Amino acid sequence: MPHDAEALVVLSRVEKRFGDLVVLRDISFSVARGKTVCIIGPSGSGKSTLLRCVNALVPVSSGSIRIDGIEVNDPALDKIALRRKVGMVFQQYNLFPHRTALQNVMMAPIHVLKQDRREVEERARRLLARVRLADKERAYPGELSGGQQQRVAIARSLAMSPLVMLFDEVTAALDPETKKEVLFTIRELAEDGMTCMIVTHEMGFAREVADHVYFTEKGVIVEHGPPSELLVNPREERTRAFLDQVL
């Protein structure tokens, strides 16, 4: 496995149990700065849990996750410090419905990073323009389509200037048309050099955007490799069976 000095996220022997149920078993890999990895696999294979462990929404049972020098599996972990470095976008967008699109983007930088309001507002406007929603800054989440809400969620996460972005099946709740807008936005981000960890069921997208793809099943990494190999010519029978099913 690639363990170069530029690794931003390093997971080693990560295990997660919920009671007797083992959700993640012996997960080890790393993500280099500026690279994009995609995690694919059947539902219930622990992909979402893996992402949630990375930003400490879910504590790991054993093993180590290091992000830019911060050990996540540390009882004295400063979760706030960790989460400043890690952005996350959810399947259900989870925007704050009582705030406008612009306010959603501005809240965390102002209240968490204590940055100057005017500066933040300017940056928030730029971010909304970047996700092509400059004209929607005054809209409330309820007035936006799913794809638009998801792009606001991406802008909101980017406003914290994270080192790495986690995407948890962000297009699973969207129709094919709006899916494209969101995937396009993420691809642009990846091309601009953002480090991304993406859990997705979109194989075409994974092939375009990923530097490395991991196939997980039942909480273990079955196989990994560059998308051109893993998605086209998998070595493992299980990977092939999964790809046959989804493609």
Q: Which residues bind other proteins (CB under 8 A)?
A: 55, 57, 79-80, 83-84, 86-88, 90, 92, 94-98, 107-108, 111-112, 153, 156-157, 160
| Nearest-angstrom CA–CA distance, 155 and 185 | 10
Annotate 54-75 with DSSP letters as a single string: HTTSS--SEEEEEETTEESS-T
127-146 exposure pattern, b = at least 16 Cβ within 10 A, e = fewer: bbebbebeebbebbbeebeb
- Residue 77 CB, shortest distance to other proteins, in Å, is 13
- Residue 165 CB, shortest distance to other proteins, in Å, is 11
| Nearest-angstrom CA–CA distance, 161 and 166 | 13
Nearer to other proteins, 47 or 212 (CB): 47
- Residue 108 CB, shortest distance to other proteins, in Å, is 4
Nearer to other proteins, 21 or 80 (CB): 80
- Residue 59 CB, shortest distance to other proteins, in Å, is 13
Nearer to other proteins, 98 or 138 (CB): 98
Give phi and psi for 56, each to the nearest 5.
65, 25
Nearer to other proteins, 151 or 212 (CB): 151
